[in-house]
């Protein structure tokens, strides 16, 4: 059996998340459909992260095992000729048999894009959260400092799913203003379901003055989802990079 790694990107707007669900369009379901046609056998796709419905990816990594003989140099072209709109295969390589897109990963980088101006954007609306009041980026950055490190992130855990341990290593949080946009980037060894979106929603509440920035540590220590802020909408979130 060959083990093949593929980097894919997608606009998640029209999909019910990465993970396969019967009867609705998902990224995993579409990838398995296409790869099955190419290698002429049923395949199971493993992803580095199970992005939520409406979340995008510029650097999602998958792997699958196959007896098919198609060269990796031709695989992306073949995939892109069959994939539905909004999904593209970018790079394919053959990897060692023990490689797993999820369990071999050392870190993931997510980026959240906030359009911070009075009026929304007709063009960028699928890929950002429109916040029409000015955000205090300095206050948000200060608040974010206390979540860097190894912590129990239960206060930012929207739905448990099949994750059993809420301990994660948040390696970095960077918040910056880029013109009319506020960009939030988080790198961690792994993320809980909806964790980035809950953290972003909490930081935005602090940036708007709805929550005092000084309580971020208290929210973290509470280990209770009810202590945190709102959950940011999915369209601003993108899985940018997976490190192995």
Closest CA to 96 of 139, 63, 68: 63
Q: What are the structure tokens assigned to 117, written together?
A: 């101006």
* Furthest C-alpha separation in the chain: 58
- Helix 137-144 to helix 195-207 angle (10° resolution) is 130
Q: With contact defined as beta carbons under 8 Å apart, do 49 and 194 qualify? A: no
Phi, psi (degrees; rounded to nearest 5) at 140 = -65, -40
Catalytic residue among 52, 136, 174, 224: 52
218 assigned to active site? no
- Identify the residue whose tokens are 């709102």: 230
Q: What's the DSSP call for residue 216? A: H
Rg (CA), the chain: 19
Q: Which helix (H) or strand (E) segment is 217 a member of?
A: helix 216-222
Distances from the Cα of 41 to the Cα of 98, 192, 193, angstroms: 21, 33, 31
Count other Cβ atoms within 10 Å, centred on residue 46: 17
CB contact set of 113 (below 8 Å; sequence gap of 6+) = 124, 127, 128, 129, 181, 183, 236, 238
Which residues are marked as active site?
52
């Amino acid at each position: 059996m060959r083990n093949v790694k593929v980097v894919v990107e997608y606009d998640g707007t029209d999909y019910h998340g990465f993970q396969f669900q019967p009867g609705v369009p998902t990224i995993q379901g579409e990838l398995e459909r296409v790869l099955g046609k190419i290698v002429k056998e049923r395949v199971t796709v493993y992803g580095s992260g199970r992005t939520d419905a409406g979340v995008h990816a510029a650097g999602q990594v998958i792997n699958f095992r196959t007896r098919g003989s198609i060269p990796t140099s031709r695989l992306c072209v073949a995939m892109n000729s069959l994939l539905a709109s909004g999904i593209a295969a970018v790079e394919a390589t053959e990897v060692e048999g023990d490689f797993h897109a999820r369990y071999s990963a050392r870190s993931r980088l997510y980026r959240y894009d906030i359009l911070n101006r009075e009026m929304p954007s007709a063009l960028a609306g699928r890929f950002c959260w429109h916040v029409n009041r000015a955000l205090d980026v300095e206050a948000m950055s200060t608040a974010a400092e206390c979540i860097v490190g190894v912590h129990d992130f239960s206060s930012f855990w929207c739905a448990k799913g099949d994750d059993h341990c809420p301990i994660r290593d948040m390696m970095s949080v960077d918040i910056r203003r880029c013109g009319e946009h506020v960009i939030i980037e988080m790198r961690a060894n792994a993320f809980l379901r909806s964790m980035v979106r809950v953290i972003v929603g909490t930081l935005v509440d602090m940036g708007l003055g709805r929550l005092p920035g000084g309580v971020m540590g208290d929210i973290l220590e509470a280990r209770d989802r009810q202590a945190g802020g709102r959950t940011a909408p999915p369209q601003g979130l993108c899985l940018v990079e997976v490190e192995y």
